[in-house]
Amino acid sequence: MPLMTPEEFEESLKPLKPKVFMNGKRVESILENRNTRTVVEANKASYAWALDPASKDIMTCHSPLIDDVVNRYTHVSASREDLVKKAEAGTFTAENLGTCIYRCVGYDAFHSLASTTWEMDRDLGTSYRPRFLEYLKMVQTKDLSVAGALTEPRGNRSKKTLDWQDPYLSLRVVDKNKDGIVVRGAKINISGAFASHELVVLPQAAHFKGEEDYAVAFATPADAEGITYICQYTPYSAERDLADDLEELGNPVFGQRETSMVVFDNVFVPWNRVFHCGEYPYSVKLVTRFAKTHRMTCGGTCKVGFMNQIIGAAKLIQEYKGLQKATHINEELMEMVILRETGRACGLAAATRGAEEPEGSGVFLPDELMGNVSKLNVCNAFWRVMALAGDIGGGLIVTLPSLKELKNPEVKAYVEEFYSFGSDEPTENIMKVHKLLQNWTAGLHGVGTWHGAGPVMAQKIMLQRVIDYEREKNLVKQTLHIKDKPEDP
Ligand SMILES: Cc1cc2nc3c(=O)[nH]c(=O)nc-3n(C[C@H](O)[C@H](O)[C@H](O)COP(=O)(O)OP(=O)(O)OC[C@H]3O[C@@H](n4cnc5c(N)ncnc54)[C@H](O)[C@@H]3O)c2cc1C
C-alpha cells in the first residue's frame, strides 16, 4: 500500500527547497515558519486520516491504475459513487481542518486532465493521456501532495491576451526543444503550493488562434528551478507571528487559508510532464471541466464543513449566555442549518447526477448545472451564515482582548470575571470560541469563499450556457394544449 504516514510526509518535504518569501523576507524553512507550517499541518492531516480506521473509507479508495489503495485526493472519479465520496471527503476535511485541504485543487485538476487528454488524443492523435496516466501513477505510488494552479495576474481585461503590453501576464511557453518546454509567467492566489510536492498547472481561460503559446498544461516539482512563491500576509499572519502561544489563535494548528503567487521564471518542463501544448481549442475544456469539479467541491462540500464550525461556535455561545430559549436565536441557528443543508444537497446532487465526460473516457465529472448552482448559492449563504453568527456572538467577536491577558497578572482576574457570562464555563474556553468566530466572520473567509472557484459572474455565465428552457416551455404548451405552428412547407 503506497500510503505515507504523516511523519513520512513531513520527512518527504525536508529535501525540497522551495524558494518562498513572506512579509518581505525569505522563508528559510516552510516546516518551521509559523504561517507556512499551517499548510504542512493540514496536508499532514490528510495522510493521518487515510490511515485512520475511522476515516479511511472517506480518505482512501482503490485505484485501478496501480491496483492498490490510494489517498482519495490522488484518484480520478470513475463513477457517481466516487463523486459522492469526493463530496463527502470535501466536507469531512473542511470541518476537521477549519481551512482548506490543500490537495483539493490538484485533485480537481486531475479530473480535468484525465478527461481532456483523452479527448485530445481521440480527436488529434496526440499521446497526452498515457503520459498523464504515467504521471498520475507516479503521484499515487509515491502518495504525493499536489497543488493546482490556474488563476493568473492577467492584463487589461477589456483587451485580448495578445494585446497586453506585458505578454507574461498569462503564463506562456517561451521555448520548446527536443527535451521539453520552458514557461514564463505567474499564477496567483494558489492554495498551499509551497508545501506540496508537485504543482499541476492548467490554463486559466479559453485560448484562440494566435494564442497557442498560452494553451499549456503541465506538472512540475514544487521546488523546480525558476519557481518563486510570494506568500499572502494578512493581519492574521502577523497575529500568528506575534502569538506567545498558538492556542491564543482562532485556529491554532491549521490557521487561515494560505495562498501565494507562484512565479515561473523560465521554468523547464520535460515533455513527459506536458499535457497540453498549443491545441488552443482544448484550453477551454480544461478550464470548464476543472470548474465543474471544483465548484461542486467549493460550493456544496467544503463550505458545508466550514459552516459546521461556525454553527458549532454560535451554538456554544448561545449556551454560555443562557439564551437557549431565545426564539430569534434558535431561528437564526435553524436558518444556518437550512443554508448548510441546501449547500450539501446541491453538492450531493451535482455528484449523483454526474456523468462520464467525454463518453468512453472513464472519467466522471459532476453535473454542471448543480455544481454551479451549489457554488452560486454558497457565495450568498456563507455571508448570511457569517452575519447570523455575528448576531449571536455579539460585539465581543470583534472587541475581544488577547488571550494573553489570561496570563497577565494585572488584569487576569478582571478578564476572567467579566468575560465569564456568569456561567460555569472557564472564561478561557468562552474567549477561544469567540476567537474562532472572529476568524470566520471578521477574517478572510467571506471574500475567500466568494472568489474561490470563481466569482458569481463566472457561475452565471456557465449557467447561461447550460440552461435550456425548451422543456419548461413545452410543459406549458402541453398543459394548455397549444400546438406548434406547422412548419413552412
Ligand atoms: C482563498 C482562495 C484560494 C484560492 N486558491 C486557488 C488555487 O489553489 N488555485 C487557483 O488556480 N486559484 C485559486 N484561487 C483563485 C480564484 O479561483 C480566483 O480568485 C477567482 O477565480 C477570481 O479571480 P480573481 O481573484 O482574479 O478576481 P477577478 O477575476 O479580478 O474578479 C473581480 C471582479 O471582476 C470581474 N471580472 C473579472 N474579469 C472580468 C471580465 N473579463 N469581464 C467582466 N468582469 C470581469 C469578476 O466577475 C469580479 O466581479 C483562490 C482564491 C481564493 C480567494
Protein residue with its CA nearest to atom 1 in ligand 1: 448
Report how far ligand 1's centroid is from the alpha carbon of 169 (Å): 14
- What is the value of pTM for the model shown? 0.96
| Ligand 1 atom with least separation from CA of 450 | 53
Smallest CA separation from ligand 1 atom 20, residue: 454
Q: Is 454 in the pocket of ligand 1 (CB under 6 A)?
A: yes
Q: What pLDDT score was predicted for residue 180? A: 98
Going by CA atoms, what residue is nearest to atom 37 of ligand 1? Answer: 157
Q: Could you tell which of 113, 151, 156, 161 is best to mutate to test the pocket of ligand 1, judged by most ligand atoms within 8 Å of the CB?
A: 151
Residue 49 corresponds to which amino acid? W
Per the DSSP assignment, residues forming a β-bridge with 68 are 63
d(CA 86, CA 80): 10
For the CA of 105, the closest atom of ligand 1 is 8
Per-position pLDDT tens, the chain of length 489? 789 999 999 999 999 999 999 999 999 999 999 999 999 999 999 999 999 999 999 999 999 999 999 999 999 999 999 999 999 999 999 999 999 999 999 999 999 999 999 999 999 999 999 999 999 999 999 999 999 999 999 999 999 999 999 999 999 999 999 999 999 999 999 999 999 999 999 999 999 999 999 999 999 999 999 999 999 999 999 999 999 999 999 999 999 999 999 999 999 999 999 999 999 999 999 999 999 999 999 999 999 999 999 999 999 999 999 999 999 999 999 999 999 999 999 999 999 999 999 999 999 999 999 999 999 999 999 999 999 999 999 999 999 999 999 999 999 999 999 999 999 999 999 999 999 999 999 999 999 999 999 999 999 999 999 999 999 999 999 999 998 887 766
Torsion-angle region of 31 (φ positive above 0: left; ψ -120 to 50: alpha; else: beta): alpha
Question: Across-strand partners of 19?
Answer: 228
| Dihedral angle of Cα 205, 209, 212, 214, to the nearest 10 degrees | -30
Q: Is 106 in the pocket of ligand 1 (CB under 6 A)?
A: no
| Minimum CA distance residue for ligand 1 atom 19 | 451
> Does residue 190 line the site of ligand 1, with CB under 6 A?
yes
C-alpha of residue 457 to centroid of ligand 1, in Å: 10
pLDDT of residue 326: 98
Domain ranges of the chain: 6-290, 291-476
Ligand 1 centre from 382 Cα, in Å?
A: 17
CA dist., res. 251 & res. 234, Å (int): 15
DSSP annotation of 248 reads: G
- Residue whose CA is at the smallest distance from ligand 1 atom 7: 190
Q: Are strands 198-201 and 146-149 parallel, antiparallel or unpaired?
A: parallel
What atom of ligand 1 comes closest to residue 204's alpha carbon?
A: 11
**Main-chain dihedrals φ then ψ at residue 203, nearest 5 degrees:** -65, 155
Atom of ligand 1 nearest to the CA of 192: 8
The answer to whether 55 touches 49, Cβ cutoff 8 Å, is: yes
Spatial distance between the Cα atoms of 452 and 169, rounded to a whole number of angstroms:
20
Could you tell me if 280 and 252 are in contact, meaning their C-beta atoms sit under 8 angstroms apart? Answer: no
Fold entry, domain 6-290: Butyryl-CoA Dehydrogenase, subunit A; domain 2 (2.40.110)
CA angle 147–111–134, rounded 5-degree value? 80
Determine the CATH number of domain 291-476: 1.20.140.10
What single string gives the DSSP state of each residue in 131-159? HHHHHHHHHHHHT--EEEE-----S-TTS
6-290 with 291-476: one CATH topology? no
Per-residue pLDDT, 488 = 66
Taking the centre of ligand 1 as the mean of its atom positions, its distance from the CA of residue 187, in whole angstroms, is 11
- Which residues are paired to 227 by β-bridges? 264
Among 383, 309, 313, 247, residue whose Cα is nearest residue 97: 309
How confident is the model at residue 489, as a pLDDT? 63
**Substitution candidate for ligand 1 out of 152, 376, 451, 463 with most atoms within 8 A of CB:** 451
